[in-house]
Amino acid sequence: MSIVNKRFHITGIVQGVGFRPTVFNLARRFQLTGWVLNNAQGVEIEMHGEEETVQAFIHDLRQNPPPLAVIDSFTVEDAPCQVHTGFQIRHSEDDPSDFLPVSPDLAICPDCRRELFDPSDRRYRYPFINCTNCGPRFSIVTGIPYDRPNTSMAGFALCPDCAQEYQDPANRRFHAQPIACPVCGPQVWYEEGGKKLAEHEAALQAARKALVKGKILAVKGLGGFHLVCDALNPQTVENLRLRKRRSGKPLALMAFDLETIKEYAIVSPEEEKLLTSPMAPVVLLETLAAGKKLLRLVAPDQNRLGFMLPYTPLHLLLLEPAEGFPKVLVMTSGNLSEEPIAYSNAEAKRRLSTLADGFLLHDRPIHTRIDDSVVSVIAGITHIQRRARGYAPLPLQIPTSAVPTLACGTELKNTFCLVRDRYAFVSHHIGDLENQETLSAFEDAIRHYENIFRIKPEILAADIHPDYLASRYAHRRASEQNLPLVEVQHHHAHIISCMAENGLKPQDTVIGLAFDGTGYGTDGAIWGGELLLSNWESFERVYHLEYIPLPGGDAAVRKPARIALSLLLNAGIDPDSFPFPFHQALDPDERSAVANQVRTGFNSPKTSSLGRLFDGVAALIGLHQQISYEAQNAIALETIADPEEQSCYDFPIEDGQILVSPVIRAIVEDIKQNVTPAVLSARFHNGLTACAVKVCETVRSQTSLREVVLSGGVWQNKTLIRQTITALSASGFEVFWPHKLPTNDGGVSLGQALVALAVSGNLKD
Ligand code: ZN
Ligand code: ZN
Ligand code: FE
């Protein structure tokens, strides 16, 4: 029998997730001696005992780490032999130059859920029950290290019972920083018209009664406020849309349990896993026949419903099934149209008082506002559409070491990205940087991330578009702090972001297909239908969609009827040769103005954007002539596509341009032949797939490159991405697409940071 002394180093998400108590309890079970501590690198363990037992311990810990731990590395080395008395949890060591990952906010765990509904538990029906395995994290962190005084729970002194649990390594709540109970923790209350009407359980019941009556409530949750109402009450939902000024935009839903969701939507095993995961995102699900009414009310134009499960005890209590209580609630972010989500009580009462009939409030402050994440499953793989609660601020590993860098992201769906060492911290979804409130949220969040992850940027990156608020912030900061600023083309950043998250190396050159909405091009045009041969440092634009005039710029984005007319004129088709649906949306004055803009180019930027082509084609075949949110027409066009239709429109290629006009002429012929919109849409989708394969094959024949990277907002189109991946793979390409980060502009900041590092010669290895 040989006695050994071993030292383990474990890195990753290993703090604040119950790692030390797990080690402690396991060591005691194996009767091993030694200690465990948190340090700047992660967790360190020293262990003394029989070699076989130590091996068994390692095996057990690796097989059953704490449920929320993410182990990046686990190394074991021999240490000088020492005799220990028992096994101890030692105090944390802190190295101010280093950083520790902060856990995202996590959905309530099964143990806490059981206790919540157990009448004999001291936290029975307590809306803030949590433990080491669940509850608020990132949203309540005010500073580092992650200890109670550095959270928004600092103001709640522990009662003796909670204090005892907090100090007991054998307890599930050992060092659970947000630990609370009805005696010492936060409380809920209900208000109407600024008056407190009820507290505690009565507050919950008052809120539930109001929901039954068809009222709209503002409910303070984990990362901010939701606007909540009965999703199956047409009048209430309509009312909510009017008040929120969100005419057609889809609304997220919450149901008490999986079984209820399955009454309305198809839930695959992967989707079920996501819904019930600690991240508990909104999952976009195909609708069943029974869900059609819901679909019409909350997500017109779509064929998918966005569902999530209650992820906090408060939500579970609010949604508890009962006779006459709504089975499905709308849970949409508490804000007015494009402003950021409200998160403090005072702010919510100020901003949401015209939107909500009542307020369900609590006194646990939210330090960082964070929206619900939105995901979907494509070809069995999770695809993140909005990365926020549950995912952020987990860093991504990048395939190289880097000097500290801040990339400021884009205008729409903004995220920023901070890089240090081999980690990229892509922020949670900030929103559209189009107003002062969102800009402040952006600046606050940058400050907070730099502080908690100890990052002092030495390089800045921004989009080449001069007028984006994010770019202006970068320019201002570059001059104030005398830092180098690298401006990065939007679609280059899209492609590099996807390359990096797929582990492709900086020097690799890939065929990048950036199919996107809007990005400023190096020639001043609006790009978005691009084939870019790219590595991290540079790109070559090999193919792009034919330039189309965008008459009136933003006016055309909001009113695709204008794009439809522009497409016809550009293709040499007489708009009066047929009663096209868009005629009704354009009065004679506007029509002649558009024709004039197209002819002269005045106030009519050129665009190769595939997103705009979707908008225009959809308008041409009779879908929306006017839209109320980005991508509405593209979604509508995808939704109607006939999955049986096999034929396609041919996009000819000429001098590096993918010609659009021949396709428009073919569509017009089909319209005149009374081909249905469903078939037209399918032919358009099929044509794009065939075109993608054709350009990639041409590039391969000239360069022998065979790695294709897909990125850009258009790839949110499930039909298009699925059939294009299949077709490219069948042709022998290796295809990569985003799944850890959004394929839309939410993923661009990572690409910006990496391009800036490569361009400035600052990649280490
Ligand atoms: Zn728990
Ligand atoms: Zn307590
Ligand atoms: Fe984009």
Ligand nearest to the CA of 111: 1
Predicted pLDDT of residue 20: 87
Ligand nearest to the CA of 165: 2
Q: Above 70 in pLDDT, residue 697?
A: yes
CA of 106 to the centre of ligand 1 (A): 9
Interval 426-439: pLDDT, tens: 999 999 999 999 99
The answer to whether residues 386 and 373 touch, using CB atoms and an 8 Å cutoff, is yes
CA of 728 to the centre of ligand 2 (A): 58
Ligand nearest to the CA of 176: 1
CA of 172 to the centre of ligand 1 (A): 8
Name residue, tokens 């810990």. Answer: 61
Ligand nearest to the CA of 181: 2
Closest CA to 197 of 316, 317, 361, 372: 361
The answer to whether residues 32 and 85 touch, using CB atoms and an 8 Å cutoff, is no
Interval 117-141: pLDDT, tens: 999 999 999 999 999 999 999 999 9
Q: Above 90 in pLDDT, residue 79?
A: no
Name residue, tokens 């889809």. Answer: 250
* Average pLDDT score over residue span 577-604: 94
Ligand nearest to the CA of 130: 1
Interval 455-484: pLDDT, tens: 999 999 999 998 899 999 999 999 999 999
* Average pLDDT score over residue span 653-659: 96
Residue 494 is classified by DSSP as H
Strand partners, 376: 383
Predicted pLDDT of residue 96: 62
CA of 130 to the centre of ligand 1 (A): 5
Ligand nearest to the CA of 514: 3
pLDDT class for 97, splitting at 50, 70, 90? low
* Average pLDDT score over residue span 303-316: 97
CA of 114 to the centre of ligand 1 (A): 9
CA of 200 to the centre of ligand 1 (A): 21
Cβ-proximal residues to 617 (8 Å cutoff; 6+ apart), any chain: 564, 567, 637, 664, 667, 684
Interval 206-238: pLDDT, tens: 999 999 999 999 999 999 999 999 999 999 999
pLDDT class for 324, splitting at 50, 70, 90? very high
* Average pLDDT score over residue span 623-635: 92
Domains located in the chain, CATH noted = 3-89 (3.30.70.100), 188-362 (3.90.870.40), 381-502+744-764 (3.30.420.360), 544-736 (3.30.420.40)
The three-state secondary structure class of 418 is: strand
Ligand nearest to the CA of 123: 2
- Determine how β-strand 195-199 pairs with β-strand 217-220: unpaired
Q: Above 70 in pLDDT, residue 385?
A: yes
120: number of CA atoms within 13 Å, CB side? 0
Q: Above 70 in pLDDT, residue 94?
A: no
CA of 705 to the centre of ligand 2 (A): 62
| Cα–Cα distance list, 330 to 216, 272, 305, 429 (Å) | 9, 20, 11, 20
Ligand nearest to the CA of 156: 2
CA of 280 to the centre of ligand 1 (A): 14
Interval 39-60: pLDDT, tens: 777 889 999 999 999 999 999 9
CA of 111 to the centre of ligand 1 (A): 6
Distance in angstroms (rounded) separating the CA atoms of residues 738 and 753: 17
CA of 689 to the centre of ligand 3 (A): 19
Strands (E), 287-413: 304-308, 328-333, 358-362, 374-378, 381-386, 396-407
pLDDT class for 765, splitting at 50, 70, 90? low
- Determine how β-strand 33-39 pairs with β-strand 70-78: unpaired
Q: What percent of the chain has pLDDT over 70?
A: 98
CA of 746 to the centre of ligand 3 (A): 8
Is the pLDDT higher at 262 or at 81? 262
Ligand nearest to the CA of 173: 1
CA of 709 to the centre of ligand 3 (A): 14
* Average pLDDT score over residue span 512-530: 97
CA of 711 to the centre of ligand 3 (A): 8
655 CB-contact burial (10 Å; exposed 0-12 / middle 13-18 / buried 19+): exposed
Predicted pLDDT of residue 392: 96
Q: What is the mean pLDDT of the chain?
A: 94
Distance in angstroms (rounded) separating the CA atoms of residues 614 and 720: 12
Name residue, tokens 């005149």. Answer: 672
Ligand nearest to the CA of 159: 2
Ligand nearest to the CA of 136: 1
CA of 12 to the centre of ligand 1 (A): 21
Ligand nearest to the CA of 610: 3
Predicted pLDDT of residue 2: 86
Torsions phi, psi for 284 (to 5 deg): -80, 120
CA of 214 to the centre of ligand 2 (A): 36
pLDDT class for 193, splitting at 50, 70, 90? very high
pLDDT class for 115, splitting at 50, 70, 90? very high
Give me 191's structure tokens.
């208000």
CA of 142 to the centre of ligand 1 (A): 22
Q: Above 80 in pLDDT, residue 743?
A: yes
CA of 723 to the centre of ligand 2 (A): 55
Which residues have beta carbons under 5 A from ligand 1 (an ion)? 109, 112, 131, 133-134
Ligand nearest to the CA of 712: 3
CA of 19 to the centre of ligand 1 (A): 14
CA of 524 to the centre of ligand 3 (A): 16
CA of 126 to the centre of ligand 1 (A): 13
Predicted pLDDT of residue 337: 67
**Prediction pTM value:** 0.92
Ligand nearest to the CA of 187: 2
Give me 2's structure tokens.
């040989």
Ligand nearest to the CA of 186: 2
User: Where is 465: in which H helix or E strand?
Assistant: none
* CA of residue 221 relative to chain centroid, distance: 18
The answer to whether residues 547 and 661 touch, using CB atoms and an 8 Å cutoff, is no
CA of 552 to the centre of ligand 1 (A): 54
CA angle 391, 16, 428 (to 5 degrees): 20
Q: Above 70 in pLDDT, residue 95?
A: no
CA of 677 to the centre of ligand 2 (A): 61
CA of 103 to the centre of ligand 2 (A): 23
CA of 492 to the centre of ligand 1 (A): 43
CA of 180 to the centre of ligand 2 (A): 5
Q: Above 90 in pLDDT, residue 279?
A: yes
Distance in angstroms (rounded) separating the CA atoms of residues 293 and 287: 10
CA of 113 to the centre of ligand 1 (A): 7
Distance in angstroms (rounded) separating the CA atoms of residues 263 and 265: 6
- Determine how β-strand 396-407 pairs with β-strand 459-463: parallel
The answer to whether residues 299 and 305 touch, using CB atoms and an 8 Å cutoff, is yes
